[in-house]
Structures are given as structure tokens and as C-alpha cells.
Amino acid sequence: MKRTGREELNAKKAIAKHIGLVKNDGYLEPYEDAIRGRHEHAVWKLNQFTDNGKRKLSDFASGYDYYGLHKTSKGWVFREWAPNATEIYLIGDFNDWTPTESYKCERIEGTGNWELNLENSAMKHGDYFKMLVKWQGGEGERIPAWCTRVVQDEQTAIFSAQVWNPEPYKWKRKRFVPKTTPLLIYECHIGMSQDAEKVGTYTEFKDNVLPRIIEDGYNCIQIMAIQEHPYYGSFGYHVSSFFAASSRFGTPEELKALIDEAHANGIAVIMDIVHSHAVKNEVEGLGNLAGDPNQYFYPGDRREHPAWDSLCFDYGKDDVMHFLLSNCKYWLEKYHFDGFRFDGVTSMLYYSHGLGEAFTNYGDYYNGHEDDNAICYLTLANLLIHEVNKHAITIAEEVSGMPGLAAKFVDGGIGFDYRMAMNIPDYWIKTIKEHRDEDWKPSSIFWEVKNRRPDEKTISYCESHDQALVGDKTIIFRLIDADMYWHFKKDDENDAARRGIALHKMIRLVTASAINGGYLNFMGNEFGHPEWIDFPREGNGWGYKYARRQWNLVDNKELCYHWLGDFDKAMLNVICGEDKFNETPLQEIWHNDGDQILAFSRGSLLFVFNFSPVKSFSDYGFLVQEGSYDVVLNTDSKDFGGFGFADDTIEHFTNHDSLYADQKKGWLKLYIPARSAVVLKKK
């Protein structure tokens, strides 16, 4: 039935009232009330924390200036939130680890806070200490929740807080604005970043690895395992002390020096922040700080994460929100981090933690199993982070695909700048495992690498640390497997090695060239690091053989690794050579699944792929903008371990076609060898 003019007008008015997220995606209209409800929940909580806008959210999130141990003009002051405690003492080197009246905290009347004021001589820089907390029916030694320095004794393996009051670090560069067009992320782990079989340090990373990252062309490092964690093998994901930079790798000042040096070289530094869960440990962590196991965590069945052997924060508590929001601001202000990659966001969003759910339609995101408290926290965290630093970068690691995660708050979104394109590595694993090379379909590849919501920016990647862990395989190992050990010396490559070298480059190029926000690579994967990651544990004799990066391999010009590393550098150089590459429209030129050919353009760049393992093509034609084109990158170049079948010095001219004269298009005919890709730039 045709609408009347009045009905059309009313319909337009109704659409105009839609929240931005729904305006951008009409399929979300049935769930608009749920989206609006989440938004209003966040606004309500924001108004509560800011006294209806009379102060900033940043003012609320400054708990680290109040809690913990601080040096004052009069001496020392210590404060802790422990509402269930009956007594709290500080014990440490300064009192022979014995509770005494002079180190006894007093409860601040009418609150759950405790306070202790001490003279200058009561403790000194470097002293180790803990809290002795008593509660009804029990007591225990604990590390303060707001502690900013925690150290593990090498002999006993026991963790203690440490009085830390050195000369303040003098920043060389106090203000830094990240380059994000595009954002090129080098994901890294300080401890396993060295060639030696040991735990690497912040200083060693600054001196030995950072120069490699700068040389390769990345403009951002994403550092894992910064927050203190009792078990090294947890990769930093079982956090115990949220405000303490891991002392395994050095001092706070050495971490600041690393960040300062990165900024001096135009490199942004973001940290992998873990607010999705916490370690169960009670002595080192928050599991039972003062006799109340639910002080920070959900009660009942929701307290423990069923898959991670950890505890789940109660985001519905204002004090927990205060703790976590203050944690975000702390790392930005005290260490000058440029933002965060939030770990385990899917686990936060749903009561089920996303376990065993398929998420096949929009209704799966709005069926009542979402944790509105966690969604509210993530929304406020993004508002806070961008209030503290308007140039800050926030990334969500989220696998369910919830709409609006990386959409603006004003549009009803949660407010992340980017979301991880976690579909892409899954796609590559599935393709390599399940399909013969002859069955790889360019149409499917192109659809997958650009499969995202138009109003949300993503970080695309072929593989991260997840795919490098024991029990999984990196792309290079899936392609070549054990032949890497025997046939990765130049002039000794077999067919498996040659195939792996070729596809490794093509997979990276098609993924990186289709980004709409940023690209990520995990440390060493750019050159095909041969070993998986396996941290010291009983099963490997507590060795560090697989918890390191063998830079000697890429430095050895007699081995094939440097070809992959050199290609990665060249690829990033081409991408950065196109102004605002990630904002440039991605336009398909051609695909043919039978030929296994794919071509697309971005600005002045033309990308052409031949995924066929056996078919090369002469004079393969593409209808493109008229003009001349130069080759700027070729995966088959001998410089990158290819065969060098094409002459890349040739200038390519389009052939005029009168049928397309009005579009100023002509035919560009190319020789495309099997299993290769070429990038051309229009003059």
C-alpha cells in the first residue's frame, strides 16, 4: 500500500528521532529501546559520578592520589578501602614484619576506608612491606590493592609491596600526539623480547627492540603483561596488582624511559589492560582482601570465571567502578601511555562470558543476557580516557560482534576507537587448514578482510600472540611446518618453504591493504618466527627456550627469514606512502574465482593478487583509471625471496577503450605469475 504524504512525514520524523546507531543500521531498529536503555544507564551513572556535570569524570577517577602509600611534606600517609576489616597493620622491613601500634591504621569514621600517618623516619625508599588485615574470624597478610610497586623475592618467590619514592622521572617529551592514519601496531611482550633465554627488561627492549620497530615502520607498540601478575606464564592476563608495573622487567622509571624514547621517535605506546577479570590469589591479589571475597567481585555463581580460573569484577559497585576507572587514568597520567587495548571484552559483555554462544543474528545481542553494569563501565572508561587525553587510543578485543562497540557515545555506542577484527585470523586458519590452495576463493578473501560495520573502525591482523601460543600454530608454521627447520636456508628451499614464503607475504598484504583503521602484527611474526610461545613451566623444565624471540634469524642474511622481514617493512612503507590510507575508499576492480585473481584500488594504489598455485597469466586486463602505473611492491621480487619473473622496472600504460572514454578508464594489462601479488601506483 502506498503511503500518504502525512504518513511519509510522520515516518521521517520517527526516523529522525532514532538514536545514531540505529540511523546507521536500520536492522537495529527492533532493538532501539535496549540500545537507548544502555545509553541512558551510562548517562545516569555519569551524572552520579560528576554531580550532574559540576565536575569532570576525571576528578572522580583519581583514587590513586588518595589510596595507597604516599610521601607528604610531613612524612608518609597510607590509605586502603577495606570495609570488612576490623584491624589493619603495616608490617615490613621497618618493624621486623611484626604488627605494632605505631603502624596500626585507623578506620575513617563512617566509611570503609583506613588511614595511617607516619613520620619521615618510619620507612624509607626500597623497604618491603605488606598489610596484616584482621576480620571477624580470620586474618592474613595482603598486598595493598592500590600498591604501585610489587617485587617477588627470587629465593622464596614471595611477593611484597615496596616503598617506592625515587627522584621523579624527568620526561623529555611531555606531550605526544599519535599518528593514526593508519595505526600500525607492533604487539609485544617485554619479558620474551630478547634473544637470550631469560626474562628481558624494559631497558633491553628500549635499546634492542624499539630501534627495530622504528626501522620497520610501525607507529605504535602494544605492550602486554604490564600490570603485575604472580604467574609469568599467564602472559599477564591473571593480574594481581592493577597499579603496579611488573617489576620482572625493571623499575617504573625504566618503563617511563622506554615510553619516552618511543614518543621521541614518533611511536605511540598502548598497554594491554586487563579489567575483564583478576587472579584468584588472595595473598598477592584481591581475591579476599579483608575477609570479604566479594569486596571487588560478583557474588555467587558469577564470582568465578568458568573458563579462565579467575574472578569477575562486580561492575555494579561504585567502589569497583572507582577502582577501575582510576586505574585507566593512572596509566595515562603517571606513565604517559597513549591508550589501551581492553582484553576480554566479550567476557565482560555477557553473563555467559560469550562461552558456547554462536551470535548469529542481532537478537543475540539484546536477549537479556548482557551485563549492563559492565557495558556501563566500558562506556564510562572510554569517556574518561578521552577526557584525560583527547588523542588517546582505545581498542576492544571482542569476538561476538556486538554492534556499537566502536561507535561514538553520542550515537549510543560504547565509545572505543577501534575493535579487533578477530574474524580475520580465524578465517586464515580455517582456509589454510581446510582448503587446498586451488580452492582459495578471492571473492571470499576480499569479503572477509573488509567485513566490518561501516560506522566502526577495526584493527585488522593475520595473527596475534594468540596464534603463536603452544597448542596453536603461526601462519608460517601452518604453511611450512617442520620443513622450516631443514629448508629455510637460501638456495636450499623446498616446495613447502617456497609456498610458505609466497603465501605468508600475500596473506599479510591483502589483510593490511584492506584496513579501515589499523593493522597489527605480533613481535617476530613479521619475519616468520619459527618457534611457538611456551613460558617456563614444569612441563618444559622451567626453561626459557620458547619464551624469547630469535632476532639472530632475521639478521642472518644466509637464511630466508630476512626476506619476510624486508617485505613487511616494504609493505608498510607503501601503505604509509598513500595519504590517510585507512580513510581512502576501498574499491574492487575485479575478481575471478576460477582464475583466483583479485584486484582492488585505494587512492593511487592498485593491488593485484594471483592466488593460483599453478596458473600464471600474461596480459591479464583490468579496467582502471587511464594513465601510467609504476610497480612499487611485488611479492615475487627476488629481494623478498620470490622468483623475480616480472620486470618491475617497466612503466605500465593503460590502453584506451572508447566504450569507457567518458569514465576516463582504460585497460591495464599485466603479467601476473602464480602465487604472487603486485602493487602499482598511478603517476
Neighbours of 303 (CB within 10 A): 17
Helices 318-335 and 372-388, axial angle in degrees (round to 10): 30
Number of H helices, E strands in the chain: 17, 31
Average pLDDT over residues 651-658: 94
Rounded alpha-carbon distances, angstroms, from residue 622 to 28, 374, 600, 612, 664: 38, 50, 10, 17, 13
In the chain, pLDDT over 90 holds for what percent of residues?
94
Rounded alpha-carbon distances, angstroms, from residue 578 to 139, 484, 603: 62, 35, 7
Average pLDDT over residues 487-513: 97
Q: Residue 362 in contact with residue 26, Cβ under 8 Å?
A: no
pLDDT for position 14: 41
User: Quick one: three-class SS letters along 3-31?
Assistant: CCHHHHHHHHHHHHCCCHHHHHCHHHHHH
Give the C-alpha separation, 595 to 575, whole Å: 26
Beta strands in 306-441 (DSSP E): 310-311, 339-342, 393-396, 418-420
Average pLDDT over residues 420-441: 97
pLDDT for position 10: 46
Q: Is 101 exposed, middle or buried (0-12, 13-18, 19+ CB in 10 A)?
A: exposed
Q: Dihedral of CA 574/577/581/585: which sign?
A: negative
Smallest CA-to-CA distance from 516 within 601, 604, 453 is with 453
- Place 9 in a pLDDT band, splitting at 50, 70 and 90: very low
Q: Which residue has the higher pLDDT, 512 or 10?
A: 512
Q: Residue 676 in contact with residue 610, Cβ under 8 Å?
A: yes
> What digits encode the pLDDT tens for the residues 432-445?
999 999 999 999 99
Cis before 182? omega within 30: yes
* CB contact set of 301 (below 8 Å; sequence gap of 6+): none
Task: Please determine, for residue 499, whether its predicted confidence score (pLDDT) is greater than 80.
Answer: yes
Residue 224, H or E segment: strand 220-224
Rounded alpha-carbon distances, angstroms, from residue 642 to 563, 610, 635: 9, 14, 7
Rounded alpha-carbon distances, angstroms, from residue 477 to 312, 449, 462, 483, 527: 35, 21, 13, 9, 12
In three-state secondary structure terms, 587 is strand
* Residues belonging to the active site: 343, 397
Give the C-alpha separation, 440 to 429, whole Å: 12
Residue type, 276: S
Task: Pull the grid cell for residue 264.
Answer: 621521541
Output the furthest CA–CA distance in the chain (Å, rounded): 95
Task: Pull the grid cell for residue 235.
Answer: 602472559
* Strand duo 597-602 + 587-592: pairing: antiparallel
Task: Please determine, for residue 221, whether its predicted confidence score (pLDDT) is greater than 60.
Answer: yes
Task: Please determine, for residue 682, whether its predicted confidence score (pLDDT) is greater than 60.
Answer: yes
Q: Residue 644 in contact with residue 650, Cβ under 8 Å?
A: no
Give the C-alpha separation, 346 to 387, whole Å: 24
Task: Please determine, for residue 142, whether its predicted confidence score (pLDDT) is greater than 80.
Answer: yes
Task: Please determine, for residue 245, whether its predicted confidence score (pLDDT) is greater than 60.
Answer: yes
pLDDT for position 4: 52
Task: Pull the grid cell for residue 155.
Answer: 629465593
Smallest CA-to-CA distance from 225 within 250, 261, 257 is with 250
pLDDT for position 531: 86
Q: What is the pTM of this model?
A: 0.96
Task: Pull the grid cell for residue 270.
Answer: 598502548
Average per-residue pLDDT for the chain = 95
Give the C-alpha separation, 50 to 58, whole Å: 9
Give the C-alpha separation, 395 to 382, whole Å: 10
Give the C-alpha separation, 130 to 97, whole Å: 8
Q: Which residue has the higher pLDDT, 5 or 560?
A: 560
Task: Please determine, for residue 417, whether its predicted confidence score (pLDDT) is greater than 60.
Answer: yes
> What digits encode the pLDDT tens for the residues 178-197?
999 999 999 999 999 999 99
